[in-house]
Structure 1
Amino acid sequence: MPEGDTLFLAATRLREALAGRVLTMTDLRVPRLATVDLSGRRVTAVVPRGKHLLTRIEGGWTLHTHLRMDGQWRIHPVGEPWDGGPDWQIRAVLGTEEGAAVGYRLPVVELLRSDAEGQVVGHLGPDLLGPDWDPAEALRRLLAIPGRPVGEALLDQRVMAGVGNVYRCELCFLRGVTPWTPVGELAQPDRLIDLAQRALDANKLRHGHITTGDTRPGRQHWVYGRAGRPCLRCGTPVCVTERAEASRERVGYWCPSCQRGPSPSPSPSPPPRSRRAGPPRR
């Protein structure tokens, strides 16, 4: 799934295109909402919450969408062809006089009352990029189960909202532990929380998740996506796990020299890379 900074950028671009503007047409291509017409209503806000997008519309309505693996919102000015995929992949269209926001391959499209947003995002922990960010609360939630692997805890959006698999691998590398290290064995876990917030904040208004400070292709990440290639810090080949389909465990990357702690047997070859959805394109 996209990381929280990707959703922050997507929300920023949707907000620029829609907030304060009156909808001239809506087309929600899911059976339950096929007859809904929100035209004539003004978009009041576009809010990211972890990996969720909440588009608030005049009259007390919220369009809730989630990108998951392949979803994407694209912004198209009037007269520009829609090029995010074939028409049958479109799940939502919000049109204004200036153009249209088109949602492709969206697995979640829900319309709910704005005062009921807690039903879809109320379970989330403090948002790393949100106004509710609370490092003390995130730390409390992280340490609640001391025997839990840190990589698993980082992906749990109930601990803190926004970390995906890229940051899970990179944060563990930067703290010198494997993703399978029990949370209770972390030294200075508050530094992991702080690092997570700073990493997402640094990338929230640009494409990609640069954790090395180096924007050159192939050098943006310390270990993520670098299976079999030399660690950028010590030169040891980076290890990767096979995806455990039965348990839905994410593929893990780690350096066996720079990171200490338990680890599974590495895969002899990197797994196939899936395409990650990006933020709306102008």
Structure 2
Amino acid sequence: MPEGDTVYLAAARLRAALAGKTLTASDFRVPRYATVDLRDQVVESVGSYGKHLFIRTPTVSIHTHLKMEGTWRVFHCGQRWTKPRVTARLVLRTDEVEAVGFSLGKVEVLRVADEHTVIDHLGPDLLGPDWDVAEAVRRLERYPDQPIGVALLDQRNLAGIGNIYRSEICFLRRVHPATPVGQVPDLLALVHEAHRVMLEAVRKPPRRELVYGRTRRSCQRCGTPIASRLLGDPAPTSDRIAYRERGIYFCPRCQPSPDA
């Protein structure tokens, strides 16, 4: 699943292509919004919050979420698309470019005044101008028995971390992802590390993974083979928070299990 850095960089590309430009056409390939026509509207701004992306005109905010496979790409008008046309869910066109959202997990059109309803429940945005490390720590500490690898992925604590970065952050702090939040030696330092890693990811892309996806390959610190296992992740449903199992990666020597 794309993480906060991917969405942040996608918003930056869209901002460069669309901000201040007048739309000559819009094509919402989502039944609920199929009749929405933003022609002649000016794109005032493009921004992101965690994994959520917003394209704003004077009247509406277009909210998209990439989910598992979504991506935004920008083409010159007339340029051949690099993804199948059937996967396009939203096309925004100006005199010069076409911004195309492929396989977007969510597309909705909101009043600008209602945009906050999408993100009110989220924790501080790791890449936002109002990043609040103290609030992120406070939210994490609410559930001291929750594994830190689960807590980092819960967007209600801090927004932007996905499956890749939770493993990377825990490795850098030498904390096993299954360690309960209340047993993390220095939670503040871990949150600062999360912020540093995310900033580095958007300033110097692409970032090379240290443990994620490196099962049985040597740890770059001690040479021990990297291990992987499943750990529950928060998966919101309509009325509760369920949990699904997804892979975590760690060094058994640098990050000893809390049960050891």
TM-score (norm 1): 0.86
Displacement of 1:262: 3.2
- Quote the residue 1:275 is aligned against: none
Match of 1:40 in 2: 40
Q: State the partner residue of 2:5.
A: 5
Partner of 2:222: 234
Alignment of 1:7-156 (within 5 A): 7-59=7-59, 61-84=60-83, 86-156=84-154
Aligned to 1:214: none
**Letter of the 1:226 counterpart:** R
The question of whether the paired residues in 2 share the 8 Å contact of 1:126 and 1:138 is answered with yes
Contact 1:24 1:39 in 2 (8 A): yes
Unaligned runs of 5+ in 1: 211-219, 265-282
Alignment of 1:239-250 (within 5 A): 239-242=227-230, 247-250=243-246
Counterpart CA distance in 1 for 2:187 and 2:203 is 27
CA contact 2:149–2:231 (8 Å) conserved in 1: no
CA–CA distance in 2 between the matches of 1:63 and 1:263?
Answer: 46
Paired AA for residue 235 in structure 1: G
Q: Is the 8 A contact 1:142 1:159 kept in 2?
A: yes
Cα distance in 2 for partners of 1:190, 1:239 equals 26
Number of residue pairs matched by the alignment: 252
The Cα shift of 1:247 comes to 3.9
Q: Structure 2: which amino acid aligns with 1:115?
A: A
Q: Secondary structure at the match of 2:126?
A: coil
For the residue of structure 2 that corresponds to 1:109, the secondary structure is: strand
**Deviation by residue 1:119-152 (Cα, 9 ceiling, x = unmatched):** 2111111000102210111111111111110001
Against the structure 1 CA distance between its residues 33 and 49, is the aligned structure 2 distance closer, same or farther, given a 3 Å change threshold? Answer: same
Deviations 1:43-83 (A, max 9, x none): 00111010000111122x00000001100110001231111
Residues 206/101 of structure 1: CA separation in 2 closer, same or farther (3 Å cut): farther
Q: What amino acid does structure 2 have at the position aligned with 1:253?
A: Y
CA separation in 2, counterparts of 1:27 and 1:79?
Answer: 16
Query: Gaps spanning 5+ residues in structure 2: where?
Result: 234-241
In structure 1, the residue matched to 2:200 is 202
Mapped to 2, the partners of 1:118 and 1:221 lie a distance apart of 33
What value does the CA root-mean-square deviation take over the aligned residues? 1.7
Name the counterpart of 1:273. none
Q: Which one-letter code corresponds to 1:249 in the other structure?
A: E
How far residue 223 of structure 1 moved from its aligned partner, in angstroms, is 0.9
Detail structure 1 runs of 4+ shifted over 6 Å in the superposition: 243-246
1:46 and 1:233 map into 2 onto residues whose CA distance is 40
Structure 1 residues 96 and 115, CA, compared in 2 at 3 Å: closer, same or farther?
same
User: Counterparts of 1:139-178 in structure 2 under 5 Å?
Assistant: 139-178=137-176
Native 8 Å contact 2:150 2:232 kept in 1:
no
Whether contact under 8 Å (1:9, 1:206) holds in the other structure is no
SS of residue in 1 equivalent to 2:100: strand
Encode CA deviations 1:183-216: one digit per residue, 9 max, x unaligned. Answer: 10111210011111111111114543x2xxxxxx
Aligned partners of 1:239 and 1:188: how far apart in 2? Answer: 23
What SS does structure 1 have at the residue aligned with 2:152? helix
Q: Which has the higher contact order (CA 8 A, sep 6+)?
A: 1
Read off the aligned partner of 1:29 and give its amino acid letter. Answer: R
- Quote the Cα distance in structure 2 between the aligned partners of 1:169 and 1:143: 19
Structure 2: distance between partners of 1:174 and 1:189: 13
1:252 is matched with: 248
- CA distance in 2 between partners of 1:26 and 1:8 (Å): 22
Letter in 2 for 1:72: T
Q: Which has the higher strand share?
A: 2
Structure 1 residue 260, shift from structure 2 partner: 2.1
In structure 1, how many angstroms separate the alpha carbons of the residues matched to 2:39 and 2:64? 18
Task: Report the residue type matching 1:251 in the other structure.
Answer: G
Contact 1:8/1:48, CA 8 A, preserved across alignment: yes
